[in-house]
Amino acid sequence: MKKKLYHVIKEASKEWGDADFNIEHTRQKEFGDLATNIAMVLSKQAHQPPLEIGEVIARKLRKYSMFSKVEVVKPGFINLFLSDEVYINIFKEVLGKGEAFFKPDVQGKRIQIEFVSANPTGPLHVGHGRGAAIGDALSRILSFCGHTVEKEYYINDAGNQIQTLGESVFFRYREICGEKISFPEYGYKGDYIKDIAQNIYQRESKSLLEKEEKEAVKICAEYASNTIMEDIKNDLKEFRINFTNYFHEIFLYPDQIEKAINYLKEKDLVYCKDNALWFKSTSFGDDKDRVLKKSDGSYTYFASDTAYHQNKLSRNYDELIDIWGADHHGYVSRIMAAFNALSPEDCKLHIILVQLVNLLEKGERISMSTRGGQFETLRDVIKEVGVDACRFMFLTKSTNTHLDFDIQIAKEQSMDNPVYYVQYAHARICNIFEQVKRKKINIRENVGNYILKTEEEKNIVKELVILREAMDKSVQELEPFYVVKSLINIACAFHQFYNRRRVIGAEEEIMQSRFKLIDITKKAISTGLSLIGVSAPKQM
């Protein structure tokens, strides 16, 4: 609809030349169905008052039957009121296309999304959960819109954190064996470390004490990381997330890393300084050059991450999407520098930073720290509020906004709970159709002349159009939040309709039109919920 309006408005304003202008849906009926700032934009380049320009454009627009009213208001907005005919035509289009109506016209691409990728050193916490919900919802939306999407989890099973994990478990193992130990400050302190140590003790008894400490730590590290990774996979499965591939960091050592370094050397992008190898990341916009290999010969995390992205490039994707936590903000510029050095221009990398989650319980924040063991695991939150509420709540804010996750609201079966609010709209529609069956009311396949005259009916149609636009915006901006926001607004429009208008018992032609309206509304809600991994219950 916006595209058609854009061309109509552009034609009406062509005497002032081209301009970039906006058309926005309004939320208050007195301002029309849509409003445009075209007159104010043209005013700057034409040096004429926006109200004068607006009146000229408005007179031309009033000639179109698609508008029931066009008005100009200060400081120069043009408010557009759509005719009943437009709403009927949109409604017919939605009915004719069904689910396809909500799909934007895109050229399908092969896209890889890497998300979660939590170190196998502890359980998933709610911060990981938000990234998981965002990554999976984005994957579903992109797939729905015609892209081929692969989801990947990067397992950081090499480096210092795994060594620290092994040492932490071995300390607790020695403690179980009866030794008096002083647990190191740098160690992982959660109860899960004690549980893993206990499992090792039950399997090995005191045999690890007879081995060299290095070997014993290695055994503890391997057992612990595998155990934790299996728990992570189980949690993700319960959270309705299945990855296409799990990629192990250890696979990159040393051949893949050396391959990446040699590639950069061939492009004269590596130099030696202080017995270390440096990448010229400043040549690609980074604030300083970065170390690839330390003076002791060990690789940096940056080196393995560079090799990982070279590996991704070798798999011939059209686009790559990395979803990271907000604490990786300082890492973006160096990875983008490495990627631009490695990549030809036929592949793009998008890095999405997911802001923090503040978990609230009874109005107070709950502390989260993996190493300190003071955190609420994702598993705990799912158990408390359920998968549906958990996934939905994680998506109620844009990725670049901090999220307050209120457990009490997520548990409520009330209109204050956004997921309940949307699911209840779907259940209400299902209940209407159950009544139709019980009362043996005939729903005609061909209605003939559709009757949609009330504001409540028009608002539903308007929100269905906005859902299609939200799909497009979610794809363009890689932001599933727009779909969630649209679902809430569709539910709001339906609840208002439900509370003010009758379906069963209305005049025959009106009733038949409303059957079609609520049916397509039900399908829109169920489609939208499925794209964010949330169920659409038939009764509540």
Distance (Å, whole) CA 72 – CA 51: 7
Q: How many Cα atoms are found within 13 Å in the side-chain-facing hemisphere of 81?
A: 13
The residue behind tokens 């003790």 is 201
Mean per-residue pLDDT over the chain, rounded = 95
pLDDT digit string (tens) for 37-84? Answer: 999 999 988 999 999 999 999 999 999 999 999 999 999 999 999 999
Rounded to an integer, what distance in angstroms lies between the CA atom of residue 191 and that of residue 17?
68
Give the separation between CA 174 and CA 180, rounded to whole angstroms. Answer: 8
Would you state the pLDDT for residue 373?
A: 47
Nearest CA among 199, 308, 193, 202 for reference residue 250: 308
pLDDT value of position 367: 65
Q: Give dist(CA 24, CA 35) in Å, integer.
A: 5
Fold type of domain 115-250+308-411: Rossmann fold (3.40.50)
Q: Which CATH class is domain 414-531?
A: mainly alpha
Spatial CB neighbours of 266, under 8 Å, sequence gap ≥ 6: none
**Maximum separation of any 2 CA atoms in the chain, in Å:** 92
pLDDT for res 365: 81
Please state whether beta strands 348-354 and 110-114 pair in parallel, antiparallel, or not at all (unpaired).
Answer: unpaired
- pTM (global) more than 0.75: yes
Tell me the CATH architecture of domain 2-82.
2-Layer Sandwich (3.30)
Q: Where are the domains of the chain?
A: 2-82, 115-250+308-411, 414-531
Distance, in Å, from the CA atom of 217 to the CA atom of 234, rounded to the nearest integer, reads 26
User: pLDDT-derived band of residue 106, with 50, 70 and 90 as boundaries?
Assistant: confident
DSSP summary character for residue 263: H
- Give tens-digit pLDDT for 172-188: 999 999 999 999 999 99
Q: What is the pLDDT of residues 479-505, one digit of tens each?
A: 999 999 999 999 999 999 999 999 999
Specify the higher pLDDT residue, 358 or 321: 321
The answer to whether 486 and 524 have CB atoms below 8 angstroms apart is no
Task: State yes or no: pLDDT of 374 exceeds 70.
Answer: no
The pLDDT value given to residue 2 = 84
Beta strand pairing status for 110-114 and 77-82? Answer: unpaired
Is the confidence at residue 452, as pLDDT, over 70? yes
- Per-residue pLDDT tens over the stretch 221-276: 999 999 999 999 999 999 999 999 999 999 999 999 999 999 999 999 999 999 99
Q: How far apart are CA 151 and CA 130, in angstroms?
A: 16
Please answer whether residues 532 and 391 qualify as being in contact, where contact means their C-beta atoms are separated by less than 8 angstroms.
Answer: yes
Number of Cβ within 10 Å of residue 516's Cβ equals 19
Distances from the Cα of 270 to the Cα of 263, 281, 339, 344, 457, angstroms: 9, 9, 14, 18, 64
What average pLDDT does the segment 288-303 reach? 97
Measured CA to CA, the distance from residue 78 to residue 505 in angstroms comes to 40
Distance between CA atoms of residues 41 and 463, nearest Å? 27
Q: Which residues contact 44 (CB under 8 A, 6 or more apart)?
A: none
Query: Would you state the pLDDT for residue 97?
Result: 94
pLDDT of 282 > 90? The answer is yes
- HSE of 533, CA atoms in CB hemisphere, 13 A: 28
Identify the band that residue 454 occupies on the pLDDT scale cut at 50, 70 and 90.
very high
One DSSP character per residue, 36-98 reads E-HHHHHHHHHTS-HHHHHHHHHHHHTTSTTEEEEEEETTTEEEEEE-HHHHHHHHHHHHHHG
pLDDT of res. 368: 56
Residue 147: pLDDT band with limits 50, 70, 90: very high
Question: What is the rounded distance in angstroms from the CA atom of residue 152 to the CA atom of residue 225?
Answer: 18
Per-residue pLDDT tens over the stretch 300-312: 999 999 999 999 9
Helices 213-238 and 378-385 cross at an angle (nearest 10°) of 30
